[in-house]
Structure 1
């Protein structure tokens, strides 16, 4: 039996500023680091066999904070990156919505119709996430694996596991920073979602 623990990176400065990140990066906030440490405490009794991360600085810093003193190599792969957003990366959502309202609306409401020049479509992204998942399944038939990645990646991964269409990607619980999902795979590769987007370890922004 394989247990895949899936965590989003900690809160970043651009998250606070409501900027789109995609393949670009920004630093973790103090709250982001706090919640990463809290996730590490939550997972401290889980014997992890491998840790996969995207090459983004925010996922690497989160993973290292979660692991603490545990000495596990981090396997970085571009397959686990967030969806590319091209010219939107680094821009505030409100500015994108003002300047490109139709495209912005399509992104969040009709993802199958979203097309931005030089970027992944949601169908391209779905294929990449499928490949990323299969890579993990081909390498691990049992044990505990941690994947530290990004919100839209996690939504797409869970969407695939649920057997849903691209159109349904946003019809799930919001993936907050450091939220945890857990998927169990049996020896036949059949998946069961045990935890989805859970953040009980997180300290709320209002209390920080």
Structure 2
């Protein structure tokens, strides 16, 4: 039995400012770092074999805060990055609403109809997330694996595990900063999602992007 522990990075400066953050990066806030450390304490007794991490600094720093002094294989890969948002990167939600309202609505309401400007379409993103999942499953059939990534990546990964179409992407628990999902994957391929959107460890429960 393989158990995946899937965590979002901690709160960032752009999360507070409600800026669109995909491949671009902003620093963790003090609260984001503290929540990552709190998640580390929650998981301190889990014997991880490896940690897979998005190459974005906010994810790398969050993973380091979760692991504390633990020394584990630390695999960074672009395939675990957030969806690329192209021309929206760094803009506030309000700014995108003013300039690209129809496509912003499609992004959240009809992701299969969303056409990015310089970013990733949801079908292309789904393909990348499937490759990322395959990388883990090809390398690990049992034990505990930690994955530190991003909100939409995690939603897509769970959507794939639930065998749902892209249109169902947003119909899962909100992925707050450092929210945890736990998934069991048996050798016969059976999947059990034990937790999703778990933020009980968080110092503050307020939502952030």
What's the TM-score once normalised by structure 2's chain length? 0.97
Alignment-derived partner of residue 201 in structure 2: 201
1-side partners of 2:111 and 2:203: how far apart?
32
Alignment-derived partner of residue 181 in structure 2: 181
2-side partners of 1:88 and 1:182: how far apart?
31
Alignment-derived partner of residue 161 in structure 1: 161
Alignment-derived partner of residue 100 in structure 2: 100
2-side partners of 1:10 and 1:152: how far apart?
14
Deviation at 1:118, TM superposition (A): 2.6
RMSD: 0.9
Deviation at 1:117, TM superposition (A): 3.1
Kindly provide the CA deviation profile for residues 85-133 of structure 1, in whole angstroms up to 9, marking residues without a partner as x. Answer: 0010000011101111101111011100000233211011111101110
User: What secondary structure, in the 3-state scheme, does the structure 1 residue paired with 2:48 have?
Assistant: coil
Alignment-derived partner of residue 61 in structure 2: 61
User: What secondary structure, in the 3-state scheme, does the structure 1 residue paired with 2:189 have?
Assistant: coil
Deviation at 1:205, TM superposition (A): 5.7
Q: Which runs of 5+ in 2 are unaligned?
A: none
User: What secondary structure, in the 3-state scheme, does the structure 2 residue paired with 1:51 have?
Assistant: strand
2-side partners of 1:65 and 1:159: how far apart?
27
Q: Which runs of 5+ in 1 are unaligned?
A: none
Q: After TM superposition, where is structure 1 displaced by more than 3 Å over at least 4 residues in a row?
A: none
Q: Does 1:2 align with 2:31?
A: no
Kindly provide the CA deviation profile for residues 130-181 of structure 1, in whole angstroms up to 9, marking residues without a partner as x. Answer: 1110110000000000000000000000001111110110111110000000
What's the TM-score once normalised by structure 1's chain length? 0.97
Aligned residues: 206
2-side partners of 1:197 and 1:117: how far apart?
29
On the 8 A contact 1:31/1:205 being kept in 2, the answer is: no
Alignment-derived partner of residue 28 in structure 1: 28
